[in-house]
Structure 1
Amino acid sequence: MKNRHLIWGSLVAALSLPVVAETETMRLNMTQGVTEVSQRVFDLHMTILYICIVIGVVVFGVMFWAIIHHRKSKGAVAASFHESTKVEILWTIIPFAILIVMAIPATNTLLAMEDTSESDLTIQVTGSQWKWHYSYFGEDVEFYSLLATTTAQIENQREKRDNYLLEVDRPLVVPIGKKVRFLITSQDVIHSWWVPDFAVKKDANPGFINEAWTRIDKPGIYRGQCAELCGKDHGFMPIVVIAKPQAEYDQWLQATKIAQQEAYEEEQRLLAMEMSMDELMELGEQVYGTRCAMCHQINGNGIPGAFPGLAGQGVSVDPAKKLEHISVVVHGKSGTAMQAFGPQLSLKQLAAVITYERNAWGNNTGETVQAAEVQAVLNGEEL
């Protein structure tokens, strides 16, 4: 009697699981999402779960029934048979039919997920160690999106905010109700652009372009992460997407274009100016802390065997290698993890961070780097 209660209790729990999973928010269940495709993926997931539960209940139900009603204590004697043609046919046809039932909705959902045709907006997503770059096709708008969580929070020196490690300085902004196509690639190693609410997860492979799309139904802030182990700071590559109504999106787009134009004009004015050492060092320390410290460390000592030190060694302290130092920061270094920061930072930021590296940690070269010098390296005039 006790065994029967345990068996029935297990069956009731198994049958009630999908109902609970669909009516309540479960931390271990799949995200329902905010798009038509993500809802279809969730429904497919629940359908397959139901089928698996039914199969499990039937198989284990028959097994436990046989164990209870054909046990030795009741005088049951095991039958002796094999090579039953009917059983062979039956256990071939039934699984085949189940697979067909599962394959039809799965194929329809997969085809919908891969259909990037007739998009209203195309955005190129480029992953790099360890940030995302977004470029809006036909709009002359592009920017890098970096982790906004501070080093002090990561090192437990300050209280962590609600969206710890899931906040960025510049989120991706898209309009609702529009089909947005993503062209996803990488600048260095394999990354993966993953936003669970959209049911979008695509690998970013160097030299290849993968496509994905979404159409968001309601405004909001949606978060994701890089889902492919891509190096030391893989855990510091969050994704934040803000979906806005069309009118608000248009305002954001126009404001971004104006801001980028103003930034360009400001850089052109900087070419004829000279910043003071104090101004360069102050800005340079900020830029170094957000862009360089994760590899070269905040004290400039680097990580032996992985990232070279800058304190008291290398191009940072050699007066004869000032242009080489600028070139490495601007163009990166082939065959190493050193990225090209020329496309990522403004002339002012580049000049400041190089000046900082040449004068911090006791390097004290006394040399400043100005925007005009950085521009010359960008244009290849130093060669």
Structure 2
Amino acid sequence: MRRNGRALLFAGLFYAPLVSADWQVNLIEGATEISRSVYNLHMVIFYICVAIAVIVFGVMFWSIFWHRKSRGAKAAHFHESTWVEIAWTIVPVIILVSMAVPASTTLIQMYDKNSAELDIQITGYQWKWRYQYLNQDIDFFSSLSTPPEQISNEQIKGENYLLEVDKPLVIPAGKKIRFLLTSNDVIHSWWVPALAVKKDAIPGFVNESWTRVDQPGIYRGQCAELCGRDHGFMPIVVEVKSPEDYQMWVAEQASLKVVEQQSAQKEWSQAELMIRGEAVYKASCAACHQLEGQGIPGVFPALVGSPLMSGDSAEHIDAVLHGRSGTAMQAFAEQLNTVDLAAVITYERSAWGNQGGAVTVQQIAELLKE
């Protein structure tokens, strides 16, 4: 029995580093100069606090042990000691100054948003992010791309479960990027630990932050504000590309915009709209109305058998385009393109036994012009 105990202890000691690798409790150094400065500042403050704790508790326990009553020790009586007064004033001042100097230096760096080479407006929505590249014709929404089947435990969870998106934020390496953050509905918080960026997105306000990443790579984060029922399904992915690859990406976005405009002129069949609409529905609607359109009683209405799905398409279209005031139903006119709007409305009206029929891309396009 004793031998088994020693074997278990040895195994525990051997595997402890492997286990702790997945149990990260400290800050990470990150991928930017600012994130490394924040990490170094954190460690300096931490070691100062450890040193204070060791000295204070060391003196306290030493006094308790060596000057206990059982040894016949008697407490000294003194007060108004000038040297004690000087010591407990000067020592804390020195400690505070040793903390304040590096902290102030780091804070000044963090709030220096001047000389940015690219400005990006980030807008929080329930539950996705909108990225608008100012002075560039790039504007898109970034939504969770983890399959609903993984969330409902019907499939094995992927490596980046709940931390993957359909369209990441793309920025160039080695460039200073300024972020302008706001919100369309409730308070969100844009947080990417590796970049040491965590800023609230507040309706009616614009907050600023910035980053400069030297090495290309993919960095993941999350909304750090409890923003609603699906708060945990609002990830952030930042893809840093080399300057050359970034310019290729910008050119690709321009090409995609042309393709999107051309697709809006195409005659789409109902079958084609249904296939595309199912994908759009899973990405933008299933979080509230559920995969099979059953909704959540008392929270989100069911689409299966809903009079809205079988009635006049104009009312259904208006609800999707402009949302419903006083409810969680968002306006999707800005979030989805013309084809995706027609596709998802057609899918909702024709799936799960609904008999509402299709709407056309041209029909949506005409309404968007009004």
| TM-score, normalised with respect to structure 2 | 0.90
Aligned length: 351
Q: Is residue 344 of structure 2 the alignment partner of residue 344 of structure 1?
A: no
AA aligned to 1:369 is V
1:148: Cα distance to partner? 1.4
CA distance, structure 2, for counterparts of residue 338 and residue 84 of structure 1: 70
SS of structure 2 residue aligned to 1:243: strand
CA distance, structure 1, for counterparts of residue 297 and residue 150 of structure 2: 25
List per-residue Cα deviations over 1:229-277 (Å, max 9, x = no partner): 111111111111111111111111111111112212321x13xx3x333
Asked if the contact 1:122–1:137 (Cα under 8 Å) also holds between the matched residues in 2, the reply is: yes
1:85: Cα distance to partner? 5.0
**Aligned match for 2:269, one of 245, 255, 276:** 276
Equivalent residue, structure 2, for 1:374: 364
AA aligned to 1:157 is E
SS of structure 2 residue aligned to 1:132: strand
SS of structure 2 residue aligned to 1:211: strand
Equivalent residue, structure 1, for 2:286: 293
Q: Is residue 352 of structure 2 the alignment partner of residue 361 of structure 1?
A: yes
Q: Is residue 133 of structure 2 the alignment partner of residue 121 of structure 1?
A: no
CA distance, structure 1, for counterparts of residue 173 and residue 97 of structure 2: 35
1:286: Cα distance to partner? 2.3
Equivalent residue, structure 1, for 2:295: 302
| TM-score, normalised with respect to structure 1 | 0.87
AA aligned to 2:365 is Q
CA distance, structure 2, for counterparts of residue 25 and residue 235 of structure 1: 20
CA distance, structure 2, for counterparts of residue 256 and residue 345 of structure 1: 16
Greater mean deviation of Cα atoms: 38-47 or 84-93: 84-93
1:317: Cα distance to partner? 2.2
AA aligned to 1:245 is S
CA distance, structure 2, for counterparts of residue 155 and residue 301 of structure 1: 15
List per-residue Cα deviations over 1:359-379 (Å, max 9, x = no partner): 2233213x2100111112212
CA distance, structure 2, for counterparts of residue 306 and residue 92 of structure 1: 59
Aligned ranges 1:179-258 → 2 under 5 Å: 179-258=176-255
Asked if the contact 1:37–1:109 (Cα under 8 Å) also holds between the matched residues in 2, the reply is: yes
1:135: Cα distance to partner? 1.0
Aligned ranges 1:41-190 → 2 under 5 Å: 41-82=38-79, 84=81, 86-190=83-187
CA distance, structure 2, for counterparts of residue 111 and residue 337 of structure 1: 40
Asked if the contact 2:263–2:339 (Cα under 8 Å) also holds between the matched residues in 1, the reply is: no
Asked if the contact 2:342–2:361 (Cα under 8 Å) also holds between the matched residues in 1, the reply is: yes
CA distance, structure 1, for counterparts of residue 26 and residue 199 of structure 2: 21
Asked if the contact 1:130–1:234 (Cα under 8 Å) also holds between the matched residues in 2, the reply is: yes
CA distance, structure 2, for counterparts of residue 285 and residue 216 of structure 1: 37
AA aligned to 2:366 is A
CA distance, structure 2, for counterparts of residue 136 and residue 119 of structure 1: 13
AA aligned to 2:215 is K
CA distance, structure 2, for counterparts of residue 328 and residue 92 of structure 1: 66
Greater mean deviation of Cα atoms: 292-301 or 191-200: 292-301
List per-residue Cα deviations over 1:59-108 (Å, max 9, x = no partner): 01111111122122322112234454543443233223322221121111
Equivalent residue, structure 2, for 1:333: 324
Gapped regions of structure 2 (runs ≥ 5)? 1-16
Asked if the contact 2:148–2:291 (Cα under 8 Å) also holds between the matched residues in 1, the reply is: no
Gapped regions of structure 1 (runs ≥ 5)? 1-19
Asked if the contact 1:330–1:377 (Cα under 8 Å) also holds between the matched residues in 2, the reply is: no
